[in-house]
Amino acid sequence: MGTTLTTFSNSTVELINGTQACNVFWQVGSSAVLGSGTSFIGDILADQSITDNGGSSVTGRFLARIAAVTLNNTTIAKSTCATASSSSSSSSSSSTSSTSTPVCADFPPTNNPDLFQINRAGSNATLYFTPVNDHLSYYYIAYGLSPGDERFGVSFQAGLSSGVVNFTINDLNPDTTYYFKVRGGSGCAPGGWSNNKESNSKNPMLPNTGNEPPKSTIPWQISVGVFIGIATFLVLIQKKQRCSSSS
């Protein structure tokens, strides 16, 4: 836009054909003025000033290079792009023509899973974790090669349960150490992450906790003792014989 942006009072910006608010930008060569009660969508990038005459609702941002941004009972909402998961169940998905902000109407789980054990066998890893207690439609497991790394991920549908949840991931590199974490989610509302747990390629082998026992010294002592005993006995016999023969 070359010069100015001016909206009538109570006017509305509408998005059509799946356009998302986060992708709308208004480049203004001088100044922008929103009439009272304008329902506005998009980021305004103005060279001079931006003014709301009063009570406008904005999904986006106001950025003025030189002069002021003047707000007057303005309601501003952050524009967010809907993700793939949000479009599946969000009742306010931006995939339809609407003037509403793409807001997730789902509630996230209120508690986080506790990922307490991972069993590795070959290329498989079975994760064991405590369930979330409410607002659940799926679990998502993220894993990578370092703590916090989320380069891999898998989700699976799940309902509420009271026992331990387990899930097996296939096609892992048996020789690689992975770091796993899991969260629940409800529609477009993800829950909080569990703890991050490291898993080496398999359970370790039982440890070697022994050392070589010292060689026994008993045979040497016994042999010496027996030798001394026999020698003493023979000497005594010999002495007795001498005494007998001399008498």
Partner 1 sequence: MKFQNSSKQTQEAVKTAPGSPIRLIIPKINVDTLIEDMGVTATGTMEVPDNAINVGWFKLGPQPGQRGSAIIAGHFDGKNGEKGVFTDLDKLKKGDQITIKDTNGASFVFIVREIRIYDPGYANSVFSASESAHLNLITCDGVWDGAKKSYDKRLVVFTDILN
Q: Give the residues lining the site for partner 1 (CB under 8 A).
A: 114, 116-117, 119, 121, 126, 128, 130, 163-164, 166, 195, 198-214
Which residue's CB is nearer to partner 1, number 110 or number 195?
Answer: 195
Terminus-to-terminus CA distance in the chain, angstroms? 145
User: Most distant CA pair in the chain: distance in Å?
Assistant: 151
Which residue's CB is nearer to partner 1, number 68 or number 164?
Answer: 164
Which residue's CB is nearer to partner 1, number 47 or number 114?
Answer: 114
Tell me how far, at minimum, the Cβ of 135 lies from partner 1, in Å: 20
Tell me how far, at minimum, the Cβ of 144 lies from partner 1, in Å: 17
How many other CB atoms sit within 10 Å of the CB of residue 42?
19
Tell me how far, at minimum, the Cβ of 147 lies from partner 1, in Å: 13
Residue 110 and residue 23: Cα distance in Å, rounded?
A: 31
Joined tokens for residue 168: 């097996």
Which residue's CB is nearer to partner 1, number 122 or number 225?
Answer: 122
Tell me how far, at minimum, the Cβ of 242 lies from partner 1, in Å: 48
Beta strand residue intervals within 115-172, DSSP E:
115-121, 124-129, 138-144, 152-157, 165-169
